[in-house]
């Protein structure tokens, strides 16, 4: 038996984002001493950008094939995505293709792992939502004054996994109605949040990413100077806007959820095959 861990993130090309992933890597290695840890980036665009910058990265499929060629038999793959959306579904498919002796029947000639498990994304279960809502409220800006709004921007999707953002928002607003969660795409965007802020007479809003790392979306789409950025839209509505550029993977409360999911996936490597997570 040769065990390994593969961490699968959207990816990042910014120094801050890459530093965040390194710190996450350190947490994983401390929890699983002696277990090799590899990385894969699920974003094709991000992998291309890094390739142009002459930085090598692997897709999930490529990283898994490398581990199989290196004789790993049991691999736990941990998603660093926020929701069980389209990219997470692709991750599951890539892992499934590398399971068992039938892997590679498409003519690739490769076999599969004896066991491959997948750790859930951040907002998977109802318990995850409860823990994430507590973490989000615990990590609000300490400089926030009474009456200030907080607006979180997630990536969003039209996948059914979008409902996890809505569930998180509902729990958070039960405890703090001045905290709003929206996404760039999906059911609740800045177009939905702005009328709420205006109706409540908000004078200042703190703007934070609901993204694992700070990358182009946080820097440009959330806090950028372009007229369609979330910051610019809030300012144009007559409010002061204070961006906070810290990803969720920089906060211990969120990281602990991902690490607990990895623990479940890693322990399942020793369980009966029928208990593999898919």
Which residues are known catalytic residues?
155
d(CA 41, CA 81): 11
Contact between residue 104 and residue 112 where contact means Cβ atoms under 8 Å apart: yes
Nearest-10 crossing angle of helices 15-31, 252-267: 50
Residue length of the chain:
278
Contact between residue 39 and residue 57 where contact means Cβ atoms under 8 Å apart: yes
Contact between residue 60 and residue 28 where contact means Cβ atoms under 8 Å apart: no
Residue 21 CB partners (closer than 8 Å, separation 6+) = 7, 9, 12, 39, 213, 249
d(CA 111, CA 141): 50
Contact between residue 28 and residue 37 where contact means Cβ atoms under 8 Å apart: yes
Question: In the numeric block, which tokens belong to residue 84?
Answer: 């069980």
* Angle (CA) 203 234 145, round 5°: 35
Question: In the numeric block, which tokens belong to residue 209?
Answer: 């990413």
Question: In the numeric block, which tokens belong to residue 86?
Answer: 């389209």
């Amino acid at each position: 038996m040769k065990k390994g861990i593969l961490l699968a993130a959207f990816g990042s090309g910014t120094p801050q984002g890459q530093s965040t992933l390194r710190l996450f890597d350190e947490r994983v290695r401390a929890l699983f001493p002696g277990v090799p840890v590899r990385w894969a980036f699920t974003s094709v665009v991000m992998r291309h950008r890094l390739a142009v910058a002459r930085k090598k990265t692997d897709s999930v499929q490529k990283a898994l094939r490398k581990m199989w060629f290196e004789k790993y038999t049991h691999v736990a793959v941990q998603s660093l995505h926020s929701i069980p959306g389209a990219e997470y579904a692709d991750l599951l498919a890539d892992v499934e293709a590398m399971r068992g002796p039938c892997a590679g029947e498409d003519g690739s000639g490769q076999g599969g792992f004896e066991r491959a498990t997948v750790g859930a994304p951040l907002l998977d279960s109802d318990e995850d939502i409860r823990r994430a809502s507590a973490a989000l409220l615990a990590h609000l800006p300490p400089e926030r004054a009474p009456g200030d709004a907080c607006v979180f921007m997630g990536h969003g999707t039209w996948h059914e996994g979008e409902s996890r953002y809505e569930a998180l928002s509902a729990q958070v607003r039960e405890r703090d109605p001045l905290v709003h969660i929206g996404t760039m795409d999906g059911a609740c965007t800045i177009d939905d949040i702005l009328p709420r802020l205006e109706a409540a007479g908000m004078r200042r809003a703190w703007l934070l990413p609901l993204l694992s790392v700070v990358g182009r979306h946080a820097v440009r789409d959330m806090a950028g100077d372009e007229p369609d950025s979330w910051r610019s839209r809030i300012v144009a509505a007559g409010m002061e806007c204070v961006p906070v550029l810290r990803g969720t993977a920089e906060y211990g409360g969120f990281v602990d959820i991902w690490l607990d999911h990895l623990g479940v996936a890693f322990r399942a490597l020793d369980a009966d095959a029928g208990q593999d997570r898919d």
